[in-house]
């Protein structure tokens, strides 16, 4: 089940110059599905990435973080290898060795050094990585690469090859023009459960052919992650494997963007943000068991951080989420969540709440004009906007979440089996 989400059309996915992608069926968890993906990046590409803050971060996260940091000395990141079916997390030293072995195998096949490869894994936690099957699948992935699937189709297959409990692949492209040059930004993401914003969330890969300095790319990546993947939540569980990677091949021919605040920097930032928000929201729309997509905006906070805390408290509340599932305007549950969001000096007698076009609460109490019929009506659509106003400042923030349904329980009670 997903909420107003459809699979991307291949013809809408635009190749990015300097990026080639190959996928293979390696039988990581089960046979007959694409489960290994290789990205090849042209020499000179810049890579920025943000990773999970989970202390039990997976072996590939530890290695990828190190290889991103070493790109100046390693000759640059030239390849990514991603497997689904196994997260290689909670696997201790053997897990690290398996990741290293994967990087070395791909590097040997491509004529690179191992630290030019970024490894990623997603799937079940605490199972040993079937590294032999992954390594055995690499030549097929590279062969797919070599025959030139550097097209929208390759992106579409990659979007499919990184899925776990996702019901649909997630991918999107944008094009902009900077200094007369056409710049492409294309990305994919995966994720449906264990989704909770904390640095980066789930797997997201965005590539652009823009020429951009590493400093600017880092800044734009952090900023895009913060306003997209860090603003979504499905179940409040922060994954061990979250990674968001932005690759810039510099092949578009534009003058190097070396100032994030310049018009070109802002244009590129806006395109990255649009792609990232689309990918992040797609994850929520494909949330495990989701039947509703909910946008929660909090205005009138003293800081963006406190707006976020309130929005996330509402977004995380199982009681709020089950009420949305039932289309039941049991809206006092939203106020309860606002109340425990941790703003100690919140004056609840100034809080306003509306859903869609229906004003529900004014000055901390239910409006006399509010009717149960209006509440029922506004809870029906599959896309719902919740708006809170704290009336204590000028800051605001928006997060996206989904409801909590029987299918969430079924999916997570049955996963693995």
- Interactions with a copy of itself, residue window 199-258 (CB under 8 A): 235-240
Quick one: 222 or 309, whose CB is closer to a copy of itself? 309
Q: Report how far apart, in Å, the C-alpha atoms of 158 and of each of 60, 124, 294, 311, 395 are.
A: 18, 19, 28, 33, 38
Question: How would you classify residue 327: left for phi > 0, otherwise alpha for psi between -120 and 50, otherwise beta?
Answer: left
Quick one: 9 or 415, whose CB is closer to a copy of itself? 415
Q: Is 73 in the site for a copy of itself (CB under 8 A)?
A: no
Q: Report how far apart, in Å, the C-alpha atoms of 127 and of each of 46, 90, 123, 412 are.
A: 33, 8, 9, 17
d(CA 109, CA 78): 12
Quick one: 175 or 363, whose CB is closer to a copy of itself? 363
Interface residue with a copy of itself among 48, 91, 186, 267 (CB under 8 A) is 91
Which residue in the list 201, 208, 233, 249 is annotated as catalytic? 201
Map residues 101-140 to x or -, x wherever contact with a copy of itself holds by CB under 8 A: -----------------------xxxxx------------
Interface residue with a copy of itself among 22, 95, 250, 287 (CB under 8 A) is 95
> Least distance (Å) from a copy of itself to the CB of residue 28?
16
- Number of residues near a copy of itself (by CB under 8 A): 71
> Least distance (Å) from a copy of itself to the CB of residue 413?
3
- Residue 187 phi/psi, 5-degree rounding, is -145, 160
Spatial contact of 201 and 230, defined as CB atoms under 8 Å apart: yes
Quick one: 280 or 338, whose CB is closer to a copy of itself? 338
Map residues 161-200 to x or -, x wherever contact with a copy of itself holds by CB under 8 A: --------------------------------xx-x-x--
Burial class (CB in 10 A: 0-12, 13-18, 19+), 266: middle
Q: Which of residues 310-369 bind a copy of itself (CB under 8 A)?
A: 316-319, 322-323, 325-326, 328, 330-333, 335-341, 343-344, 346, 348-349, 351, 361, 363-366
C-beta atoms surrounding 205 within 10 Å: 29
Looking from the CA of 281 toward its CB, the CA atoms found within 13 Å total 22
- Residue 246 phi/psi, 5-degree rounding, is -120, 125
> Least distance (Å) from a copy of itself to the CB of residue 5?
21
Q: Which of residues 50-69 bind a copy of itself (CB under 8 A)?
A: 53-57
Specify whether 52 is catalytic: no
Q: Report how far apart, in Å, the C-alpha atoms of 260 and of each of 206, 229, 266 are.
A: 18, 20, 6
**Active site (catalytic) residues:** 201
């Amino acid at each position: 089940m997903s909420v107003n989400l459809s699979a991307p059309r291949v013809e809408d996915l635009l190749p990015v110059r300097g990026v080639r992608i190959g996928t293979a069926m390696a039988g990581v968890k089960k046979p007959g599905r694409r489960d290994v993906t290789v990205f090849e990046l042209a020499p000179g590409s810049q890579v920025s990435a943000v990773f999970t803050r989970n202390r039990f971060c997976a072996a590939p996260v530890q290695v990828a973080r190190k290889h991103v940091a070493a790109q100046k000395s390693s000759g640059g990141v030239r390849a990514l290898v991603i497997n689904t079916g196994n997260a290689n997390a909670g696997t201790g030293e053997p897990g690290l060795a398996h990741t290293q072995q994967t990087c070395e195998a791909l590097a040997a096949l491509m004529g690179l050094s191992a630290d030019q490869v970024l490894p990623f894994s997603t799937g079940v936690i605490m199972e040993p990585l079937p590294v032999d099957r992954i390594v055995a699948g690499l030549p097929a992935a590279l062969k797919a690469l070599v025959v030139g699937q550097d097209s929208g189709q390759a992106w579409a297959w990659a979007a499919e090859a990184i899925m776990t409990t996702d019901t649909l692949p997630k991918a999107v492209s944008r094009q902009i023009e900077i200094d007369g040059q056409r710049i492409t930004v294309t990305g994919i993401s995966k994720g449906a459960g264990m989704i909770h914003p904390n640095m980066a969330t789930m797997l997201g890969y965005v590539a652009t052919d823009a020429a951009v300095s590493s400093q600017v790319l880092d800044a734009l990546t952090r900023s895009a992650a913060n306003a997209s993947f860090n603003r979504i939540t499905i179940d409040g569980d922060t994954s061990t494997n979250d990674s968001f990677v932005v690759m810039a091949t510099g092949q578009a021919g534009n003058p190097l963007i070396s100032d994030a605040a310049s018009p070109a920097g802002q244009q590129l930032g806006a395109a990255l943000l649009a792609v990232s928000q689309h990918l992040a929201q797609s994850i929520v729309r494909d949330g495990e068991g989701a039947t509703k997509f909910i946008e929660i905006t909090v205005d009138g906070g003293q800081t963006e951080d406190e707006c976020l805390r309130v929005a996330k408290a509402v977004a995380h509340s199982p009681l709020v989420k089950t009420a949305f599932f039932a289309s039941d305007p049991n809206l006092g549950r939203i106020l309860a969540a606002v109340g425990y969001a941790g703003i100690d000096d919140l004056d609840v007698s100034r809080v306003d709440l509306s859903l869609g076009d229906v004003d529900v609460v004014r000055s901390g109490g239910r409006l006399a004009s509010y009717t149960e019929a209006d509440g029922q009506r506004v809870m029906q659509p599959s896309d719902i906007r919740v708006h809170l106003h704290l009336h204590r400042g000028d800051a605001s923030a928006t997060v996206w979440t989904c409801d909590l349904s029987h299918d969430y329980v079924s999916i997570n009670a049955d996963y693995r089996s």
